[in-house]
Amino acid sequence: MSAAEPNDFFKESRSFTEIKEELFSKYFENWSAGCLGKLKEKTSEAVLFLDMQAGKEQGEQTGALLPNNNNFHYLKSIVKRPALNEKLLTFFYNKSKVVLEQAAEVLQTHPNYSDLVHQPVLLADAESKAQFTQLLHAGNPSLVFLDPFENVFASQLLQQAVTNRQSELFMMLRPENITKAVGGKKVSASINEFFGEHLQDIGNYSRKEKSKTKRQQFMLDKFISLLKNQGQYTLLFKVNLPGIQEPENYLLFASPCSRAYRSFKEILLPYTTLQPDGIPTFIANEFPQTQLPLFEQVPDYSLPELVNRILGNAATYKYKSVEAIYELDSVNTNYSRENYITAVEQLRKAGKVELLNGKTMQTIRLVTPASVVKYRL
């Protein structure tokens, strides 16, 4: 595994397993810490983690694994938190039984394996799958790593996890899986149930649109919209290879918890390209345009738009800190905490707001996340 800096990580082609180790391990660490609060509040009897792609290396039918036990790097996050270790139930699955068995052998050699209070369960049969589903339906907090378009079991689990309202979904999506599962001639019952009447819209669009990338984006937009309609905060990250326009992978995060959403967003910030105004694109290696379009394309998110958002919500954001405004306003957007600091500074210079010290309420000039915003309208 390369020791590249985050902003250099995607400047070379990365395997499925390398991306998983780089990004999912960081989020798992944050998720593990967050679970401790729920356990202290005694809001659940168990916490669930399911890796639906255990031991998988994208493009490798043999399920090649990384050396030095890096495939199960997240076990260390579990055992260093005794309260979590006591409650966490871990499950592993792969659509290939051969790969799953291989992953199980590697798992047992991990230095932290023997420190786990509960032995990991392999979802290798109907009984073990039913066990996990029952625990999920019980409302236990869970983190699931999956591609819901990869196979029938994964798509079935998608709806169960979303309905659970306690599940966080870390999805690594292969574009061809999306096209096959959603836009193919045969659609599974679970995909049909999730997308419903939107499948007809997808079919109509796909018949007219020649661009494969645009068809995939349309399917993803529908998918994300449906997740949002069910109370999920979502963030999509496109992994482009250097100089290649079509994404090689998509990372999609979904959670009913805004704090979890922000945690995932902040992990991705060092890896994303930025617009000239500093707004994250959440694209790795954004493809440069070879020619100017006939009409100027206005980005969905921009610094002027953010300034207007903050200014237009004075009734809601008055006397709130910059951090609080960021937490309330940034969900399901590309805006970062730094963007809010910049936008508030522009408003201060324009005489639209004053900044107050959060403790003394005295006027200050330096914008920090703790600065309180007083509107001058």
CATH number at residue 356: 1.10.10
| Residue in 51, 91, 97 with CA at minimum distance from that of residue 71 | 51
- Predicted pLDDT of residue 90: 95
Cα–Cα distance, 166 to 173 (Å, whole number): 22
Same domain as 184, residue 114: yes
Cα–Cα distance, 111 to 151 (Å, whole number): 32
Instruction: Decide the pairing of beta strands 353-356 and 372-375.
Output: antiparallel
Same domain as 280, residue 307: no
Same domain as 323, residue 245: no
What's the number of CA atoms in the CB half-sphere (13 Å) around residue 291?
3
Same domain as 320, residue 177: no
Whether 341 contacts 322, CB under 8 Å: yes
Distances (CA, A) of 251 to 9, 20, 232, 259: 15, 10, 15, 18
In-domain check, residue 294: no
Angle between helices 303-312 and 322-329 (to 10 degrees): 100
Instruction: Decide the pairing of beta strands 353-356 and 249-255.
Output: unpaired
- Predicted pLDDT of residue 41: 63
- Predicted pLDDT of residue 2: 46
Same domain as 339, residue 258: no
In-domain check, residue 226: yes
- Predicted pLDDT of residue 5: 67
Same domain as 159, residue 95: yes
> What's the structural domain count of the chain?
2
Same domain as 308, residue 267: no
| Residue in 343, 344, 339, 341 with CA at minimum distance from that of residue 280 | 339
| Residue in 77, 195, 211, 60 with CA at minimum distance from that of residue 143 | 77
Q: Which of 233, 255, 284 is the last residue of a domain?
A: 284
Give the DSSP letter of residue 269. Answer: G
Same domain as 313, residue 244: no
Same domain as 80, residue 160: yes
Q: Which of 284, 312, 339 is the last residue of a domain?
A: 284
Distances (CA, A) of 157 to 145, 197, 233, 358: 11, 20, 18, 45
- Predicted pLDDT of residue 296: 57
In-domain check, residue 293: no
In-domain check, residue 129: yes
| Other CB atoms within 10 A of residue 220 CB | 19
Tell me, what CATH number does 25's domain have?
3.40.50.150
- Predicted pLDDT of residue 64: 44
Domain that holds residue 232: 6-284
In-domain check, residue 251: yes
Same domain as 350, residue 254: no
- What is the chain's length? 377
Structure pTM?
0.90
What is the full DSSP assignment across 346-361? HHHHTTSEEEE-TTT-
In-domain check, residue 209: yes
Buried/exposed code over 314-350 (b: 16+ C-beta within 10 A; e: otherwise): eeebeebbbbbbbbebbbebbbbbebbbbbbbbbbee
- Predicted pLDDT of residue 11: 86
In-domain check, residue 1: no
What's the number of CA atoms in the CB half-sphere (13 Å) around residue 335?
27
In-domain check, residue 157: yes
Cα–Cα distance, 313 to 316 (Å, whole number): 5
Same domain as 170, residue 123: yes
Residues of the chain with pLDDT under 50: 1-2, 58, 60-69, 290-292, 294-295
How big is the CA angle at 169 (ends 167 and 173), to the nearest 5 degrees? 160
Same domain as 150, residue 32: yes
Report the largest interatomic distance among the alpha carbons of the chain, rounded to a whole angstrom: 66
